[in-house]
Structure 1
C-alpha cells in the first residue's frame, strides 16, 4: 500500500506523462483550527481533477476554481513557486469558507520536473529518505540526502519536505504486551505491524485495526524494517523467535531495536548474538531490557516505558541534529 505522499507523487507523475499541467499545493503554516498538518500535499490538474488535500474541504473549492481560471500561475517570475494565505482577515475568511477562524499559508508550484518526481518515488520504493528543497527567492527546486529525524521546515524563504518511509514499529509477538504497545504507538502516529508465526497467537489477536503478519520474524524484519525510520521490538520471551529478528535488525539501518526481558536474560542474549558473529558495535545498538526504568510491572506500564524510551531517543536525536554538536547517520544516497 502506498502512503499518502507517495500516492500523490505517483499520481502527479502519471498526469505529467499524460501531458497535463499540474499545480502542487503544500501546507506551509497553520494558525488556529487546522485539520491538515504542515507538509500536507494537494495536486490539481488544469481541468480541476485533484488528489490530496490541504484543509478539511473549506478552501479546496476556491483553489480548484483558481487553477481552472489560471489565477495561480506566477507569470511575472516564470512560474516561480509562490505563497498564498487564507483566513488572514475576516473578509477573506468569509470568502474562502474559513468560519472556524483558522489561518493557513500555502506554497503554490507549477509541477513540471518529471525526473525529480521519478527520483523521489524511486528512493521511497527503496526505503530511502530524500529532502525536496524549494527556494522562494530563486525558484530553484533541488533534492538532497535526509536523515530519519529531519522534519518539514519553512524559514528564510526555504521550504524543506522529507519524503520516504513512515515511522514504522514492527512488533515480534502478538501477546498481551504487544496489544498495549500497538495501541500507544497508534496514538503517537506510528505505522504498527505485528509479526507472529504461532497460530494460537494469531487466532487470539484482538486488534483488527493492526496489521498482523504470519511470516517468520527474520523475514518480517528484512521485508519491513530496512530503513532509518523503522523500530523493531521483540516481545515474545521466546529466544527462537526474538533472536531471529534481532540477528537481522541489528545488521540493518533501523533507528531503534529493543528486546524484552530481564538484565540476566538480555546478558545471555548478547552472548548468543556474539556467538552468531554479530559485532560488538552491532550488539551495542540493542536496547535491552527495553524501556525506561520506571518500575513498571503491568503490561500497560511496560508499554508506556517502551514508548517513552523510543520517544526520548527520537527527541534527543532531533535536538542533537539541530544544535550542530553531532549528526544523525544519513542515507547513503546519490541524488541527481
Structure 2
C-alpha cells in the first residue's frame, strides 16, 4: 500500500481541535479507479486530504463523512455505475467500490498508536470488525490473515473483518549523486518512495544538486549498513567506480533489500561479477543483481534512464 499520510493528517486535525473522519476503500470490483486501502481524510470544515476514487465520488463521500462525524458512528457505503447516476454519485469508469467511513473521535487512541507505529518504520495491520465496529492493531506473527495481507501489501475484507496493512514506506537508496540520480530521486518520491542519496564526494553530493533530499556523504558500505536494508528497500548503484559501487553491492547482496540494480555496460558487469566471485559471493547471490540497470526501452539521457530504472524497480516490487 501507498504510505500516504492520511492517518497523520486526520490525527493532526484532531489534535488541533477539529472533528474529522477517515474514508477507506475496503473492496472493489471491475475497473474501480483506486484499490482497496486507498484513503481520504475529511475535517468538520470540509477540508480533504487523499482520494478514494480519483474524483468520481469524493463529493458524496465528504457529505457522508460530515454526517458520520456528527453521529459518531462508522458507516459502510457502496458506489457503482448506473445509467442515470454515473456522473452524480457513481463511478463513470464502470467499477464498484465499498467505502468505510470512520469518525476519528471513537478511534482516537488506536489512530494515535497507528501513527506512532508508522513513524517507527514497523509493520502492523489495522483491523476493523465490520459487525461491531471494534478496531485494533495487530503485529506480524499474531494473525495469519493479517500476515498474509502484510506480505501481499493489499488491503481487503477477510471473514467480516477489514484488514489494512501498514508497511514501512518504500525506500530507494541511490549510490552515486550523478546526473541520472537527479531525476531518479524526484520520480521515486512521486511514486511513493523515500529516496536517499549516498556519495562521499562533496562535489557530487551537494545540497544544491538535490534540493530537499536526504544526502549521506559517507562511504557506501558504511551508509548502507547503518540504513539496515529491508524488504521495503531498493538499491541502485550509479557511480561506475568499483571503489564506491562494489562495497555497496556487497552489503546489498547480503541484505533483505527487494531490488539491487547496477549501472554499467555488459562488459562492465562481467568484470563486476568476476570481482564478486573472487570476494566469495555465490552465483545465486550475484544473480540478484539487475545489470545493466533498468528496463531495455532504448533510454537516452538521464531522464529516460531514470524512467527505465524506476519501471524495473516497480516490476520487481509487484512481481512482474
User: What interval of TM-score do these two structures reach, taking the shorter chain for normalisation?
Assistant: 0.5 to 0.7
TM-score (norm 2): 0.68
How many angstroms does 1:232 deviate by?
A: 1.0
1:119 pairs with 2:113: yes
- Selected match of 2:136 from 134, 139, 142: 142
Match of 2:50 in 1: 52
Describe the shift of the 1:100–1:72 C-alpha distance in structure 2 as closer, same or farther (beyond 3 A).
farther
Match of 1:38 in 2: 36
Measured in 2, the distance between the counterparts of 1:152 and 1:297 equals 32
Matched, 1:151 2:151: no
Q: Is the 8 A contact 2:29 2:96 kept in 1?
A: yes
The yes-or-no answer on 1:84 pairing with 2:92 is no
For 1:127 and 1:237, locate their aligned partners in 2 and report how far apart those are by CA, in whole Å. Answer: 31
Distance 1:39 1:309 in 2: 24
Tell me whether 1:104 sits opposite 2:97 in the alignment.
yes
Find the counterpart in structure 2 of residue 228 from structure 1.
Answer: 231
Mapped partners of 2:223, 2:29: distance in 1? 38
Counterpart position of 1:12: 10
The answer on 1:24 being equivalent to 2:22 is yes
1:122–1:254 Cα change, 3 Å: farther
Structure 2, unaligned stretches of length 5 or more? 141-146
Q: Secondary structure at the match of 2:7?
A: helix
* Corresponding position of 1:321: none
In 2, Cα distance between equivalents of 1:113 and 1:148:
25
- Per the alignment, residue 274 of structure 2 pairs with 267
For the structure 1 residues 131 and 100, does the alpha-carbon distance in structure 2 shift closer, same or farther, using more than 3 Å as the test? same
Distance 1:125 1:212, change over 3 A: closer
Taking a change above 3 Å as real, the CA distance of residues 123 and 168 of structure 1, as seen in their structure-2 partners, is: same
Cα distance between partner residues in 2 of 1:295 and 1:58? 34
Partner of 1:133: 127
Give the match for residue 143 of structure 2: none
Q: CA RMSD in A?
A: 4.6
Residues 1:269 and 1:177: Cα distance change in structure 2 (over 3 Å):
farther
CA distance in 1 between partners of 2:164 and 2:286 (Å): 30
Cα distance in 1 for partners of 2:125, 2:262 equals: 32
1:240-251 residue pairs with structure 2 within 5 A? 240-246=243-249, 248-250=251-253
Q: Point out where structure 1 has 5 or more consecutive residues left out of the alignment.
A: 275-279, 319-336
TM-score (norm 1): 0.65
Is the aligned partner of 1:173 residue 2:176?
yes
Please tell me whether the aligned partners of residues 262 and 289 of structure 1 are also in contact (alpha carbons under 8 angstroms): no
Taking a change above 3 Å as real, the CA distance of residues 37 and 191 of structure 1, as seen in their structure-2 partners, is farther
Instruction: Determine which of 152, 159, 163 is the counterpart of 1:160.
Output: 163
Q: Indicate the residue corresponding to 1:255 in structure 2.
A: 258
